[in-house]
Amino acid sequence: MGSGNCHSLEIPPGKGPHNVGCTDLMMDHTIQGSFLRIYYPCETSVSHEQPAWIPSKEYFSGLADFMKIGRTLGYWSIDYLFGSYKIPAEWNAPFKTGNKYPLIIFSHGLGAFRTLYSAICIEIASRGFIVAAVEHRDESASATYYYKEKTTKNKQVVVPNSSHVSADLEANWLYYRSLKQGELEFPLRNNQVQQRANECIKALHLLTDINKGSIVLNALKLHFDWTKLKGSIDICRTAIMGHSFGGATVIQSLSKEPVFKCGIALDSWMLPLDDDVYSKVNQPILFINSEKFQWVGNILKMKKLDSERIDRKMITIKGTVHQSFPDFTFLTGNWIGKLFKLKGDIDPITAMNLCNRASLAFLQRHLDLHNDFDQWDSLIDGKDENLIPGTNIQLPPEHNTTAQDYSVNK
């Protein structure tokens, strides 16, 4: 399963009862707009077309920059290793009407972008959710883009409909911004986490408008019928998820937007958050951590969210690394996976199943869903041979008594 020779490497498809489609939405072509990859329950389409996992070559360059390997070598290596993979979802397939689906907003980690968590997003969509993965424009993505008006000299006669975007616009790429020499990290990251939270909230508002029947002007001229989503999104059942920097984005977003009923933070990196944010979060949170990434200071920040009255849970998946959550973990053989810390000691499918099932059980509990996800309730308390309740990190004595509180605190 997913390890050994490269022919067996693939992103796992969803296991739920729904077929999953996906499409992209760029609403307002400018840098202030929203850019989302949407995963949703779909009708079976005729074409069965699956989108490329990495959507265009500029993302190869962005990943090379982020990993601090030269663009030429990096581009070639990433193209060679990952260029041919597809996402197991049907591109622009017709939306499946007739239900009201809960909504999940998903926030990616540092150096990632909207497509790199497709295994998580597809599994959740296959269980009857709409999942909107935001591509952040705070210079924390390895690459992203928006459109600018062409200057007069660049304007050429273009046949209408010959491309995915209006003839008067040109793509402007925005690459990952590293820390400058001597620059303090907190001010940059705190500004970014504020912008990221605003982008998640903007995505929520955009989908709320689409649910009300607003006209969608997608800057990407894709063939997708957005009118089918009218009345199909259960806005009262909305949650937010994210990995790493996206985990901090979950906390920041919960503090600003009460429409989010709960949050799931995957191996959160807590540095970007201001100390005053913790007291402003009133929703339940599930922290799902890897065994190898966390450290005392980071866990102590998570524990500032401990509560007697609000459901706050923490579990750790044994044998996992920080990159056990994005799709890379499925797409690298053991040797490269271990070398670049893209794979832990646990089978990636086993780890991902635990992460997704605990998430679904938590979502059922706090979005008041009537599915069968409560069959996995015990995972929220860390009850599995591959789980640790709370954290594996040895905390200072005054905190040790609370390390297990997560497993009994309802």
- Catalytic amino acids? 244, 267, 322
Contact indicator for 50, 23 with CB cutoff of 8 Å: no
- How many CA atoms are closer than 13 Å to the CA of 401, on its beta-carbon side? 1
CA distance 352 to 170: 38
Q: Encoding tokens for residue 93?
A: 């397939």
Beta strands in 280-349 (DSSP E): 285-290, 312-317
CA angle, corner 58, sides to 52 and 61, nearest 5? Answer: 115
Check if the beta carbon of residue 306 is closer than 8 Å to that of residue 325: no
Residue among 244, 264, 136 nearest 200 (CA): 136
The Cα 277–Cα 254 span in angstroms is 9
The residues with which 218 forms a beta bridge, in sequence order, are: 27
Give the Cβ contact number of residue 136 at 10 Å.
Answer: 26
Say if CB 199 and CB 133 are below 8 A apart. Answer: no
